[in-house]
Chain A
Amino acid sequence: QQQVKQSPQSLIVQKGGISIINCAYENTAFDYFPWYQQFPGKGPALLIAIRPDVSEKKEGRFTISFNKSAKQFSLHIMDSQPGDSATYFCAAIEEYNFNKFYFGSGTKLNVKP
């Protein structure tokens, strides 16, 4: 059973548009929610992360929105650029459980010029 459900599986956005990726979870023990970005041939790298006591976190063009009651969180990429084309993974962590990470299935983003 997948602990973190991610959608969509793939996303095509025009340059300058907004990319939105959604994730949902059930386990209320999760207490940290990072997003990872992966380019072809590379390992995933931390992009931005949020804790459940905050509803939104913004870093540059990247924003996480967090809805604790709905157990959902999303990544918004404003002014999407071709260089943002990558696979994005959401994750949820049980920090009490030796930081066990649960990853979503990934979203392949293609930003067209």
Chain B
Amino acid sequence: DAGVIQSPRHEVTEMGQEVTLRCKPISGHNSLFWYRQTMMRGLELLIYFNNNVPIDDSGMPEDRFSAKMPNASFSTLKIQPSEPRDSAVYFCASISGPRTDTQYFGPGTRLTVL
């Protein structure tokens, strides 16, 4: 199994540009989570999906952030417009279902907004 796949691994962009981060969960997993990690705030849950439906997006910092999961094998996190304070490592994680105990994390996307 290839594990959770994220792309790109690194992204450098300028303030005001649109950024799209991509995630492919482990096949058969039906819950997907997006996290943001910074030194100051640690690991923050942004949004999570169950069976492609957003369940809780209360962690999304503001309207500039949006996430979609059009099918079971693909999710995107979009930031438009991006700002320097969005610079962080963004992780995607997936889990196989109810009463399953392990979240599998992807390698992360390191985003730098200049």
Contact = CB atoms under 8 A, between A and B. Distances in A.
Given A43-B106, A101-B33, A95 B99 contact: yes
Task: Give the interface centre of B56, B91, B93, B105 by most chain A CB atoms within 10 Å.
Answer: B105
B42 A46 contact: no
Interface in A39-58: 41-46, 49
Given A34-B101, A49-B101, A98 B45 contact: no
A43 B91 contact: yes
Interface residues of B, number: 24
Interface residues of A, number: 22
A98 B43 contact: no
A37 to B, nearest CB: 11
Contacts of A106: 42-43
A103 B31 contact: no
